A and B are shown apart, each in its own frame.
Chain A
Amino acid sequence: MGGAFWLFAGTICLIFPILFRAVKGPTAPDRVVAINAVSTNITLAILLWAFLQREPMFIDVALVFVICGFVGVVCTLQVLTTVNADTLTTTAKQTKRGQNDGGDAA
C-alpha cells in the first residue's frame, strides 16, 4: 500500500512540469498534448486514490474522466483544423462549411 501512495504523490508532482509546457508551448497542438497528459495523470491519481481510500466507486469516476477527456481533445482538434497557424485566421479551403463561412465573412 505504500507503493500506491508514492505513485499517487508522483503523478500529482508530474502534473506541474507538464503544465509548464502547456503554458510555454509555442504552438497550439503542444498545449493540446500537454493537457491530454495532465488528464492522464489525473486519471491515474483518481485510480490510486480509490485504492488508498478503499472506495470502489471512484474507479467509475476514472472511467468517465477518460471518456470526457477524449471528447474534449477531439472537439479542440476539430477547431484547430479550421484555423491556420501562421495567420490565426479561419482558412477557407479546409472544409465545406469553412468555405461558406469564409465567403460570407469576406
Chain B
Amino acid sequence: MTTILANLCFVGAFLFLGVGTLGLFRMPDIYARLQTVALGDTLGVGLTALGLLMLTTDRVIRIKLIMLVAIFWIINPTIAHLVAKASLVHGVDPTAEIKVEKGEGSWDLP
C-alpha cells in the first residue's frame, strides 16, 4: 500500500517537473518562465521527498529528508525573487503581451 502511494507521489513529481520544463519553452518571457520553473520544481521536490518518506523506516533519514525539503522550500522562492529583481535591474523588459503597471518609482530599483 505504501509502495503504491509512493509510486503515485513519484508520478506526480515527474509530472510537475515536466510541466516546469515545458514552461521553459512555451512561455514568452523571462518572468513567466521563472514562475513556471520555480513552482514546478518546488512541488516536484516536495512530492519526491514525500514518496521517499513513505519508502523508508529509519528515523534519521526521515529527519534529513524533512530538513532538505525545508531548506529547499526556503531557498527556491528566494532565488525566484532574486532573479526577477536582478533581471529588472539588469534591464530585461517584459514582453508587450504582458501588461506591466509602470507606477511611480516602480522601475527605480537600487
Chain A residues with a Cβ under 8 A of chain B: 1-4, 6-7, 10-11, 14, 17-18, 21, 27-30, 32-34, 36-37, 40-41, 43-44, 47-48, 51, 56, 59-60, 62-63, 66-67, 70, 73-74, 77, 80-81, 83-86, 94-95
Contacts and interface: CB of A to CB of B under 8 A. Distances in A.
Given A7-B10, A59-B61, A81-B90, A47 B21 contact: no
Interface of B: 3, 6-7, 10-11, 13-14, 17-18, 20-21, 24-25, 30, 33-34, 37, 41, 44-45, 48-49, 51-52, 55-56, 58, 60-61, 64-65, 67-68, 71-72, 75-76, 78-79, 82-83, 86-87, 89-92, 110
| Dominant SS among interface residues on chain A | helix
| Dominant SS among interface residues on chain B | helix
Nearest to A76: B86
B28 to A, nearest CB: 11
Given A51-B56, A81-B89, A32 B83 contact: yes
